[in-house]
Structure 1
Amino acid sequence: MTNKHPIGIFDSGFGGLTVFRSIAEQLPQYDYMYFGDTGRAPYGNRSFKTIHEYTWESVQWLFAQGCPLVILACNTASAKALRTIQQQDLKNGYPTQRVLGVIRPTAEVIGNYSKTQEIGVLGTKGTVQSESYLMEIAKFFPDVKVEQQACPLWVPLIENGEHDKPGSDYFVKEYLDAIIAKSANIDTILLACTHYPLLQDKIKAYLPANINVVPQGDIVAKSLVDYISRHPEIEQNLTKTGIRNFFTTTDDTADFNKYATMFFGGEVQSEYVALK
């Protein structure tokens, strides 16, 4: 693998596979390496310091495998670690590598989905508390009103395979009622967690038909297509044999493979990585 230069895709768990799926569909020719830090997940309720530490450690591992470009396919890591990585960490030994997130490309276009100019953002506690979406959307759509709602029980439901069972309906409806109660004019709901597309059908079922439900996968993938076209120095360094490798910090790879296949929409065979 030393002669390969894949695109690295990082997430604290499985959710980033929904983004990876969209990226691979739009850019199938490239090599990819997915790294899920499932052994230390979830990140949503951890501190800025811990999330940065875990994320940067994982990114450096991907760099060591030959990845010149890493996508943080995780809203919590993008909210709490990306800025420090881009502005400080890369300068200390990684001047040619690049790390991108999912918040900015989403913020650049999400306002275009709303006719009422009112958007609801559903995310983890960490993403919501960071207020990253409030700040980023305001840069591109200053007239758009944004309401946020943390949904702390959704990720555990999804990662335990309960998302498509009747027991999850109560918690789906609870958080949706809370976000809609903040403004009756919301006509667009952003799923600001890469796990949430697995709940998309239930979410739509509990919302009025006029409300758009927007996952991030296609948005991030289109942004990456544009980024690569504008940065030939990166594109020329990426290998293109269509190889996809999966790695996890969970030693039970069979369990990881089962859930990863559900998120990715195709068979996943992973390898265990011990970071420490």
Structure 2
Amino acid sequence: MLQPIGVFDSGYGGLTVLREIVRALPQYDYLYLGDNARTPYGPRSFETVYHYTLECVQHLFDQGCRLVILACNTASAKALRNIQQLDLPRLYPGAGPHDPARRVLGVIRPTAEVIGTYSKTGAVGVLATQGTVASESYVVEIEKFFPGVTVFQEACPMWVPLVENGEYDSPGADYFVRQHIDRVIAKSPDIDTLLLACTHYPLLIDKIRQAVPTATTVLSQGQIVADSLADYLRRHPAIEQQCSKTGQRQFLTTDSPADFDRKATMFYGEPVQSIHVAL
């Protein structure tokens, strides 16, 4: 049985992260699960996001995954800590803190570990969903690694619907992109780095770059997470050795495979064929 690296997202956005992971680490097998039937996660309560995320993580474990990446900022913000600290010890009671039985990683910590190196002014803007902003996860995590950095958050509730409806390159998207860029920049004239803290937002990156001051650095998370995963596997050989390496990529969705396959190409950059799963 294959033991792929699991990659989970509430919908399609995690495919932008998977694309960069596959590019950096093509030898591994990957199993992607998009919970498209219940997306978006951003406006949902902490309890609901936690419940949905745990269900999806358990399904990936059941499919042979030993390592699962939450390629979703909202799930990482609202569910990861409980899953790591409460559920893994409960579900796998024989596994100690250094036992390679199961591991779940997110996208917030790897980003927080490096974001301060991009900013010269110590002022960073974070563009995210309402759920990620409300959790203040980036504020807390960045403080741990870069206590001198000030974080200015901006929730962008229209950006995910624009992307998922294929309007990310339309003239109509310009208004909503400019609106939130102007709002976050207005919070501090010192902001020199903007983080796209939602995996959907890279599809808007051209419009975002047009809207920001020329000296502003715009960061998406795919490459950061891919580099962090490569480092994690080097530092955890017991986990790395359990990951199968035949170069296979499989895709699961909780909604219509035909719809998923059509939209997934926008995010993944090449055609995919998915299978429906009921959770």
Give the alignment's TM-score, normalised by structure 1.
0.98
- 1:149-188 to 2 correspondences below 5 Å: 149-188=154-193
Q: Which residue matches 2:199? A: 194
Q: Which amino acid aligns with 1:264?
A: Y
- Shift, 1:254, TM fit: 1.1
- Residues 20-99 of structure 1: matches in 2 within 5 Å? 20-94=18-92, 95=95, 96-99=101-104
Name the structure 2 match of 1:240. Answer: 245
Q: Check if 1:124 corresponds to 2:124.
A: no
2:274 maps to which residue? Answer: 270
Deviations 1:235-261 (A, max 9, x none): 1101100000000000x2111101111
> 1:192-219 CA deviation, whole Å, 9 max, x = no partner?
0000000000000011110000000000
How many Å apart are 1:273 and its aligned residue?
0.4
Paired with 2:15 and 2:66, the residues of 1 have a C-alpha distance of 19
Write the distance in 2 (CA, Å) between the matches of 1:144 and 1:32.
Answer: 35
Q: Please state whether the residue corresponding to 1:88 is helix, strand or coil.
A: helix
| Structure 2 residue identity aligned to 1:175 | H
Q: 1:255 aligns with which of 256, 259, 263?
A: 259
Amino acid at match of 1:84: N
Stretches of structure 2 that go unaligned for 5 or more consecutive residues are 96-100
Per-residue deviation, 1:176: 0.4
Gaps of 5+ in 1: none
Pair 1:212 & 2:210 matched:
no
Please give the alpha-carbon distance, in whole angstroms, between the structure 1 residues aligned to 2:46 and 2:147: 27
User: 1:92 Cα shift?
Assistant: 1.5
Q: TM-score, normalised by structure 2?
A: 0.97
- The equivalent of 1:13 in structure 2 is 11
Count of aligned positions: 272
| Alpha-carbon distance, 1:30 to partner | 0.2
Q: Which runs of 4+ in 1 moved over 2 A?
A: none
Supply the distance in 1 between the matched residues of 2:243 and 2:211 (Cα, whole angstroms): 43
AA aligned opposite 1:246: F
Q: Quick one: which of 226, 231, 236 aligns to 1:231? A: 236
What secondary structure sits across from 1:70 in the alignment?
A: strand
**What's the counterpart of residue 203 of structure 1?**
208
Deviation at 1:93, TM superposition (A): 2.2
Does 2:110 match 1:105? yes
Separation (CA, whole Å) in 1 of partners of 2:201 and 2:265: 16
Q: Deviations over 1:1-54 (max 9, x none)?
A: xx1000000000000000000000000000000000000000000000000000
SS in 2 for 1:245: strand
Measured in 1, the distance between the counterparts of 2:90 and 2:63 equals 18
Identity %: 65
Name the aligned partner's letter for residue 268 of structure 1.
Answer: V
RMSD (Å) for aligned C-alpha atoms: 0.5
CA distance, structure 2, for counterparts of residue 23 and residue 158 of structure 1: 21
